[in-house]
A and B are shown apart, each in its own frame.
Chain A
Amino acid sequence: MNFNMKRIKAIIKKEFSQIKRDKRTIAIIIMMPIMELLLFGYAASTSVDHIPTAVLDKDMGRESRELVDKLTNSQYFDMDYYADNMDDIEYYIDNGYAKAGIVIPPDFSASLKSGKTAQIQLIVDGTDPTTAQTILSSAGGVVQSMSVEIIQETRGTFVPQSLDLRSRVWYNPDMSSIYFNIPGLMGVILQTVTLMLTSFSIVRERERGTMEQLIVTPITKMELMIGKIIPYVIIGFVDIVLALALSVFWFRVPIAGSITLLLLFSAVFLFGALGVGLIISTVSKSQLQAMQLSMFMIMPNILLSGYMFPREAMPEIIHGISNVLPLTYFIKVLRGIILKGNGFGELYKEFAILVAFGIVFLALATLKFKKKID
C-alpha cells in the first residue's frame, strides 16, 4: 500500500480546520471528559463510610458505651439516632434515615464481665448490597478487635492464638473506590469521545457529498484513513492529559507509574479504538446510523471491560467478548500504571495486544472503505 505524507498532512489539516469551526465538536472534546470524570468520579463511588446509624443501647454500661465509641471512631458509622426501643430502630431504617441499626442487649456488660459471650444485634438495610456488605464487614472488624482487647484485659497479656491473619491491602491501601474508578474511567472517556467523533468522520462526508469530490482524486484509501485518524489521536491525547490533570489535581489520585508510558499506551489504544469508529463510519449509511452503532458499541465497552464489574465474575461467553474489547486491556494498563506503578515489563502483553487491535481494525476499516459512491 503506497502512501504519501503530503496527502495525509492535507487531510489532517483539513480535519482540524473543520473541527476548529465546529463548536459542538469542540464542546464534546473539552466538556465530555470533564463532565464524565466529575459525574462518574463522584456518583459511581462505591466507598461507603459515615453510614447513618441508629443505636439502641439497653445496657447503658461502660462496655456498651465503649463499643459505640469504637464503632464511631472507625469512621464507618455515624451514630445519628439514639433509639429508645425496637420500634424506633424500625422507624429509622424503614424511612431511610438510618442504613444500619445496632442493638445492645441489657446484659451486655454483665456478660462480658462474667466472661460469657456477649451478643450484639446488627440490623442492615440490604437494599443496596454494596453498602450492606461494607457495613457488615466494618462492624465485624470493629467487634473482632474489641474482642481481642477484652480477652487480653481479662486473661492477662498473653493471648494464645493459633492463627493470626494480618491482611495488608496493596496499591490502594484505603481501598478507596475513587482511586480504582478513575483510571478505568479515563479509558471509558477516551473510548467514548473518540468513537463518537470518528464514527461520524467518513459518513458525514458521504452525507454532505464531499466524498464524491474527494474520491475522484488520486488519494489512496490508506492515506484517507490515516489522515482521518491522526487528528482524533491528537484530540484523544488532549483528552487523556485533561483527564490526568483532573485526576491528579482534583481527585488527588497519585500516579505511581510513568506518565510517558501511560501516554504511549494511550496512543496505541487510540489507534484501535478509532479504527472501530472508522469501521462504523464506513459501513453506516447515515450519521444517525453511525450514532446508533457507536452507542451500541459503547455499552458493552462500559459494562464488560472490567470498568464496572470484575471480569473474573463474568460467565465464559461474556468473558470471551470482553477479551476482544481493546478497552479491557487499556483499563488494565491504566490501573497498572496509575495504581501499581507497573512498567513496560509487566505490560508488554497488553502492549502487543493493543498494537494488534490497532492494526486489525485499521486494516478492516481500510478494506471496508470503497472509493465508490454506491
Chain B
Amino acid sequence: MEHDIQTFSLVKKFGDVPAVDNLNINVRKNTIYGLVGPDGAGKTTTMRMLCSLLKPDSGTGKIGGHDIVKDSEEIKKHIGYMPQKFSLYGDLTVIENLEFYSEIYQVPKRESKEKIQFLLEFSNLKNHSYKLADQLSGGMKQKLALSCNLIHTPKYLFLDEPTIGVDPVARRELWKILFDLREQGVTIFVSTPYMDEAERCDEIGLMYSGSIIKNDRPDNIIRDFGKHILCVVSDDSYAAREAALGIASAEDVYLLGEELHVISDNIEIIRRELEQLLKSMNADYTINEITPTLEDVFVNIVKSRTEMTYGKRN
C-alpha cells in the first residue's frame, strides 16, 4: 500500500519531557487521517515536525517520499499547513492575504487570479473580499486560512484542530471542503479533539502521551472495542452516577452530557442492579444498551491508560 505521510520513531522532547515519543504513523495516499487525542498528547508537536517547523530530536518522517529533516524546503512547496492559532495577517484584507500567499508560492499570475476567485466562492468569502481578516468571524477566518493554504494546490494538507472556535454550520462546511479535496487527490492530515469529526476520517490514530495507542479505521476501532455500554437517562444523572459507581461489576461510569454511560463485560447484572437502585430512588429513567461511539472508546482507552500510569482513582 502506498503511504504519503510516514513517521519513523519520531521523538521530540521539551526539556526532559517527551512531547512526542517514538511515534510511528502511516497515512495512505488520498485519505483523511485524523490524529485524535487529549490536550497535551503531542498532536501539535507532531504536526509541526511534519511541516518542518520543529526539528525532531531523533527519528524522521517522509512526506511524498521526501525526508522531513533533509528535504524540508522541497516539502514546503507541496504542503499546506493550517496552524491551530489563526496565522494570517489580520491587518490585511481577505483578498490581500490570498494574493500574498499566491505570490509567495509563485503561482503564475493568470492562474492565481482564477484560483483566488475560485477559492473565494468555494469558501463563501466572496462578499467579504475587502474586509480585514481580523474582522471575520471564527469560521470565516478558518475558511480563509484554508483557502490561503490551497492557493498552490498542495498535495498534502495539514490541519491542526481546524474547527476550534468554529460554529457547527461552519464546521460542517469545512468538512465538506475536506471531503471535496480528498476527491481531488489531496492527502489530509488533521488533528482534532472532537470525536464526531474523528469519525469522519478514513483512519484515525489515538494519540496519548506522545505515542499512538490505537490506529485503525473508526468503525474497526469501535468494532474491536468488545465491551458493552448501557446508556442511562434519568432526571437525576448525578444520583444515577453515584448509584452506578457503587456497582462492583461496572468497569467504568461516566457522564456524556445528559447521558450516563456504564461499561461492563456483563451488562445484564448491571441493568438489574441499576433498575433496583433507581426504582428505590423513585427516579424516572430509561436504560438501553447502545453501540459504543468513538467517544466511548476514546474515553475508555484514555482512562485505562491514565490508570496504568498514575494508578486507579476514586
Residues of A bordering B, CB below 8 Å: 4, 6-7, 9-11, 13-14, 17-18, 21-22, 208-220, 371-374
Q: Is the CB of A14 within 8 A of B100?
A: yes
Q: Is the CB of A217 within 8 A of B89?
A: no
State A211–B132 Cα separation when bound (angstroms).
18
Q: Given the known inter-chain contacts A17-B92, A215-B53, A373-B54, please indicate yes or no for A6 contacting B87, CB distance below 8 A.
A: no
Q: What B residues does A17 contact at CB under 8 A?
A: 91-92, 96
Binary A-proximity of B52-76 (CB < 8 A = 1, otherwise 0): 1111000000000000000011001
State A217–B90 Cα separation when bound (angstroms).
18
Q: Given the known inter-chain contacts A218-B73, A373-B48, A373-B53, please indicate yes or no for A212 contacting B103, CB distance below 8 A.
A: no
Supply 11 A–B pairs (Cβ within 8 Å), ascending by A.
A7-B103, A18-B91, A21-B91, A208-B90, A209-B86, A211-B87, A212-B83, A218-B104, A218-B105, A219-B104, A373-B54
Q: Name which residue of chain A comes closest to B53, CB basis.
A: A373
Counting CB contacts under 8 A, is B88 at the interface? yes
Q: Is the CB of A7 within 8 A of B106?
A: yes
State A219–B73 Cα separation when bound (angstroms).
9
Binary A-proximity of B9-39 (CB < 8 A = 1, otherwise 0): 0000000000000000000000000000000
Q: Is the CB of A9 within 8 A of B103?
A: yes
Nearest CB of A to B53, in Å = 5
Nearest CB of B to A100, in Å = 58
Q: Is the CB of B100 within 8 A of A10?
A: yes
Q: Is the CB of B83 within 8 A of A213?
A: yes
Nearest CB of B to A240, in Å = 27
Q: Given the known inter-chain contacts A14-B89, A17-B92, please indicate yes or no for A216 contacting B76, CB distance below 8 A.
A: yes
State A18–B55 Cα separation when bound (angstroms).
31
Q: Is the CB of A216 within 8 A of B91?
A: no
State A4–B85 Cα separation when bound (angstroms).
29
Q: Is the CB of A4 within 8 A of B106?
A: yes
Counting CB contacts under 8 A, is B79 at the interface? yes
Q: Name which residue of chain B comes closest to A14, CB basis.
A: B100
Question: Taking chain B's interface residues, is the majority helix, strand, or loop, or is none over half, making it mixed?
Answer: loop
Q: Name which residue of chain B comes closest to A21, CB basis.
A: B91
Q: Is the CB of A372 within 8 A of B55?
A: yes
Q: Is the CB of B81 within 8 A of A6?
A: no
Q: What B residues does A22 contact at CB under 8 A?
A: 91
Q: What A residues does B89 contact at CB under 8 A?
A: 14, 18, 210
Nearest CB of B to A227, in Å = 10
Q: Is the CB of B87 within 8 A of A213?
A: yes
Q: Name which residue of chain B comes closest to A18, CB basis.
A: B91
Counting CB contacts under 8 A, is B254 at the interface? no
Counting CB contacts under 8 A, is B51 at the interface? yes
Counting CB contacts under 8 A, is B101 at the interface? yes
Counting CB contacts under 8 A, is B77 at the interface? yes
State A96–B145 Cα separation when bound (angstroms).
68
Given pairs A10-B103, A212-B85, 12 additional interface contacts (CB within 8 A): A10-B104, A11-B104, A13-B103, A14-B96, A208-B90, A213-B87, A214-B104, A216-B52, A218-B76, A219-B104, A371-B52, A373-B48
Q: What B residues does A13 contact at CB under 8 A?
A: 100, 103
Q: Is the CB of A374 within 8 A of B76?
A: no
State A17–B88 Cα separation when bound (angstroms).
14
Q: What B residues does A10 contact at CB under 8 A?
A: 100, 103-104
Q: What B residues does A372 contact at CB under 8 A?
A: 52-55
Partner of A216, one of B79, B106, B132: B79
Q: What B residues does A18 contact at CB under 8 A?
A: 89, 91-92
State A373–B86 Cα separation when bound (angstroms).
15
Q: What B residues does A4 contact at CB under 8 A?
A: 106
Q: Is the CB of A216 within 8 A of B53?
A: yes
Q: Name which residue of chain B comes closest to A215, CB basis.
A: B53
State A364–B85 Cα separation when bound (angstroms).
30
Q: What A residues does B103 contact at CB under 8 A?
A: 6-7, 9-10, 13
Q: List the 6 closest A-B pairs by CB distance, nearest first.
A: A10-B103, A213-B87, A216-B81, A209-B87, A218-B76, A209-B85
Nearest CB of A to B188, in Å = 15
Nearest CB of B to A107, in Å = 80
State A209–B105 Cα separation when bound (angstroms).
19
Q: Given the known inter-chain contacts A9-B103, A10-B104, A218-B73, please indicate yes or no for A210 contacting B88, CB distance below 8 A.
A: yes
Partner of B87, one of A212, A218, A371: A212
Q: Is the CB of A217 within 8 A of B101?
A: yes
Q: What A residues does B101 contact at CB under 8 A?
A: 217
State A22–B96 Cα separation when bound (angstroms).
16
Nearest CB of B to A343, in Å = 41
Q: Is the CB of B104 within 8 A of A217?
A: yes
Q: What A residues does B81 contact at CB under 8 A?
A: 213, 216
State A220–B89 Cα separation when bound (angstroms).
19
Nearest CB of A to B13, in Å = 11
Nearest CB of A to B105, in Å = 6
Q: Is the CB of A216 within 8 A of B73?
A: no
Q: What B residues does A373 contact at CB under 8 A?
A: 48, 53-54
Nearest CB of A to B127, in Å = 21
Q: Name which residue of chain A comes closest to B54, CB basis.
A: A374
Q: Name which residue of chain A comes closest to B90, CB basis.
A: A208
Q: Is the CB of B87 within 8 A of A210?
A: yes
Q: What A residues does B48 contact at CB under 8 A?
A: 373
Q: Name which residue of chain A comes closest to B96, CB basis.
A: A17
Q: Name which residue of chain B comes closest to A10, CB basis.
A: B103
State A208–B92 Cα separation when bound (angstroms).
13
Q: Name which residue of chain A comes closest to B104, CB basis.
A: A217
Q: Name which residue of chain B comes closest to A370, CB basis.
A: B55
Q: What A residues does B91 contact at CB under 8 A?
A: 17-18, 21-22
Q: Name which residue of chain A comes closest to B97, CB basis.
A: A14
Output the residue of A7, A9, A212, A372 with the most chain B CB within 10 A.
Answer: A212
Q: Report B136-180 residues with CB < 8 Å from chain A CB.
A: 145, 148
